[in-house]
Amino acid sequence: MSNMGKALYEFGPYRLDPEKRVLFRDREPVPLQMKAFETLLALVRHSEEVVLKDELMKAVWPDTFVEEANLTQNISVLRKVLGDEASERRYIVTIPGRGYRFVEKVRTVIEDEIIVVESHARSRVVIAEEGEQNPPVFLREGNELRALPGQTATPYRWWMAAMAVAGTVVASLILFALLSPAPVPKVLRSIRLTHTGSVSPHSVVLSDSNRLYFTETIGAKGVLAEVPATGGDPKTVASSLSSIVLEDIDSTRSRLLAGATVTGVRMPLWVVPAAGGSAQRLGDLAASCASWSPDGQQLAYCREGGIYVAGADGTHPTKLISVHGVVEYLRWSPEGRRLRFTVNEQADGERSLWEASSDGANPHPLALGWKSYAHIWGEGEYTGDWSPDGKYFVFRSQLFEGQSFWAIREKTGWFHRGEAAPVQIYSSPDLFGEPRFSADGKKLFFVGYREQRELVRYDSARQLFVPYLGGIPARLVSFSSDGQWVAYKSDIDNTLWRSRTDGSEKLQLTFRPLGATHSSWSPDGKMIVFQGGPPGEPARIFTIPSNGGQPEILLHDDTARLTAPSWCGDGSAILLMRWAKDASGELGSRVLRLDMTTRETTMLPDSDGFDGVHCSPDGKYAAAADQPHHRLMLFDFSSQRWSVLSEGDAYGWGIRWSADSRYVYYQHAEEDEDQPIFRVRVSDRNVEQITSARQILRADVLSYTMTGLTPDNSPLASLVHRTSDVYALELELP
């Protein structure tokens, strides 16, 4: 027979469809950004040949100048999608200084043109050349074809089939004219609207006809700011709220819905005049996200375990929907009949888009046409916005360390009923925040940012922060009991490293895909315990020899997430945090003690809601942050009781003990712009401020967090260098 179908490419378990722009693995579509797909297609079409970098960039970006980093990002994404391990490249090999080569054998296959005689799930199928006598007959079952032994189409039956095909062709032409796909939405250009670099990376950008509203970051505070819709220098908007998180703007474009920043999930909700002035409290409502209804008569808001509605003034709150997980990024459809939101399954890090009727009926995940993946904490599809006419919904997807915006056509007309498949409209190696439409629907506003961390040490003699270990991007630092060795998490790839305290004898202890964080040394310095696990799986507790070796699972719990291990005293026990859902589906934490001799675990009493537990070096005490009650707590192992060390919201990941067990160091990382670091003396609870953000002389540092304590009791901090600004995408939405 002659082949009349289109050419497809196959390699390993994958099939590449150039026409549909889809990559399949074992017949299931694999989510892939468009530019990454085009990079893969160019490599596959020249398999076993070296494709120069310039040639690849011209093939993928024919009309646009881009930096080589975009190509590098695409190659990295493809390797992760294909499972191409660094130790043995099966698919894409780098040719240093030149380009890349696709080394797997590629097969070109033809998708046959199939004549279907009966349009049923089980149908008789004839495949034939023109003029062929007695062609074979197949039975279609779903997507499978099975030959019918001994059966052929007789000349008479073949004539009948030909007539049927002719009728089908005519009908198909008519249907094609009526049911042709709608034009694809696209981005015309991207515009950077601010150049301060200090916009809060997680801020939403809200617009009226002439201005944009967002928050700028000053230390741990969010300050309300505005800028002309065409761009320019932001101006601070006076508000009675000391720190603000924007949520929504009303239909009159004159009032902002905002939360007042507090430690924890819930924020008190306020109405803030867009022109500035005193904020008005919305009853006693507290939420993690909120959205006004289009008619301004109702308010939908999120709390642990579900979604609630109330009057526009905050009165008569009622639970609308129960959801397992944390609800985020709540949006009301323009006609007011639907709600869309993100569900964050904190136990495993998966995020997904959901939809429900505005009366709370039928809550369900939004069908996007692809399998949802959660390989790294926080990945998935989340946060979106409707165009003002309700025709499109644009959402953000984060996959394999890349981010992109996708558009779903909501209203497809008489001949295009139902939701169309999402179309990617924008991607970037940079990070970006929540998308929001302009009032006229012609632009999409968001915050785009780049972030880099630097490890620094507070020098008390000079009263300033200086680079530590060369200023490497590292966090969660721990030291051996003899003060000679240091372990830390690399912020580049979440791997665990060890070195001398002067940076020498550096050794990588863990390798991807095993992520690692929160390390602690055994008292004899021979072992390190850490929190980690493969991507997409609940966190477990591992041990590894400090001189390198194979990580071993010390403790895991399929029903919970285990974090922040801390080796105690003589090494007989380890403390850690256990995060699990209760009967109502709410996520909570407790302190767990693991006996290293018996491997039995017990819960420390009265530790609900605690975080950041750390054992004292002498093994007599433990310190932890009591998040619900905003205080630092001390546990006495001899009395088995907790007592208050200090008041205020201690940052759990920054809690550390002095080498002599006399002091606990901690930080108020989320209370004000200074983000001060304190120490409290255990014997008399005397609190002393050690330093603050005022001792950081770098102008490009937006915030910092305490992340360790050196053997000589110098606080270590991770500085956040970030360039974050407001961007706009000019859209063509047919």
Looking up residue 388, the CATH number of its domain turns out to be 2.120.10.30
CA 216 to chain centre: 21
Is the same domain home to 269 and 153?
A: no
Residues 163 and 120 reside in one and the same domain: yes
> Could you tell me if 95 and 167 lie in one domain?
no
Q: Is residue 534 part of a domain?
A: no
Burial class (CB in 10 A: 0-12, 13-18, 19+), 386: buried
Q: How far apart are CA 145 and CA 417, in angstroms?
A: 30
Predicted pLDDT of residue 159: 47
Give Cα 87 distance to the centre of its chain.
27
Mean pLDDT (the chain) is 83
Give the domain extent around 102.
7-109
pTM: 0.64
The residue type of 131 is: G
Cα 205-211-214 angle, rounded to 5 deg:
30
- DSSP structure string for 438-480: -TTSSEEEEEEEEEEEEEEEEETTTTEEEESGGG-SEEEEEE-
Q: Return all residues near 685 (Cβ < 8 A) that are at least 6 apart.
A: 644, 645, 646
**Burial class for 562, CB neighbours closer than 10 Å (0-12, 13-18, 19+):** buried
**Interval 334-392: pLDDT, tens:** 999 999 999 887 555 578 899 999 999 999 998 887 655 444 445 678 899 999 999 99
As a whole number, mean pLDDT of residues 202-220 equals: 88
- CATH at 85: 1.10.10.10
Least confident segment among 164-173, 385-394, 582-591, 634-643: 164-173
Higher pLDDT, 730 or 588: 730
CA distance 312 to 306: 19
Q: Is the CB of residue 266 less than 8 Å from the CB of residue 287?
A: yes
The total domain count for the chain is 3
Examine residue 319 and state whether it is found in any structural domain, yes or no.
Answer: yes
Q: Is the pLDDT of residue 173 over 90?
A: no
Q: Do β-strands 326-332 and 318-322 pair in parallel, antiparallel, or remain unpaired?
A: unpaired
Q: Which of 49, 81, 109 is a domain's end point? A: 109
Closest CA to 453 of 426, 423, 476: 476
346 and 222 share one domain: yes
Q: Are residues 44 and 94 in the same domain?
A: yes
Tell whether 144 and 200 lie within a shared domain: no
Rg (CA), the chain: 29
Q: Same domain, yes or no, for 66 and 140?
A: no
- At residue 594's C-alpha, the angle toward residues 589 and 599, to 5°, is 135
Q: Do 159 and 133 share a structural domain? A: yes
Rounded Cα–Cα distance for residues 241 and 270 (Å) = 9
Q: CA 245, CA 223: separation in Å to the nearest integer?
A: 8
- 318/233 same-domain check: yes
- The CA distance from 702 to 433, in Å, is 17
| Same-domain check for residues 280 and 355 | yes
Which residues, at least 6 apart from 731, have a Cβ–Cβ distance to it below 8 Å? 185, 186, 187, 188, 425, 441, 442, 443, 444
**pLDDT category, 304, cuts 50, 70, 90?**
confident
Residue 518 lies in a domain: no
Boundary of a domain, candidates 109, 138, 158: 109
pLDDT digits (tens, 9 = 90+) for 128-151: 444 445 555 555 444 444 555 555
Residues 244 and 323 placed together within one structural domain of the fold? yes
Which amino acid, 66?
Answer: V
Query: Residue for token digits 């490249």?
Result: 89
Domain boundary among 52, 84, 109: 109
- pLDDT band of residue 73 (cuts 50, 70, 90) is confident
Which region among 58-62, 151-155, 199-203 has the lowest average model confidence (pLDDT)? 151-155
| Sign of the dihedral through C-alpha 10, 85, 22, 731 | negative
Please check whether residues 220 and 254 belong to one and the same domain: yes
| % the chain with pLDDT above 90 | 47
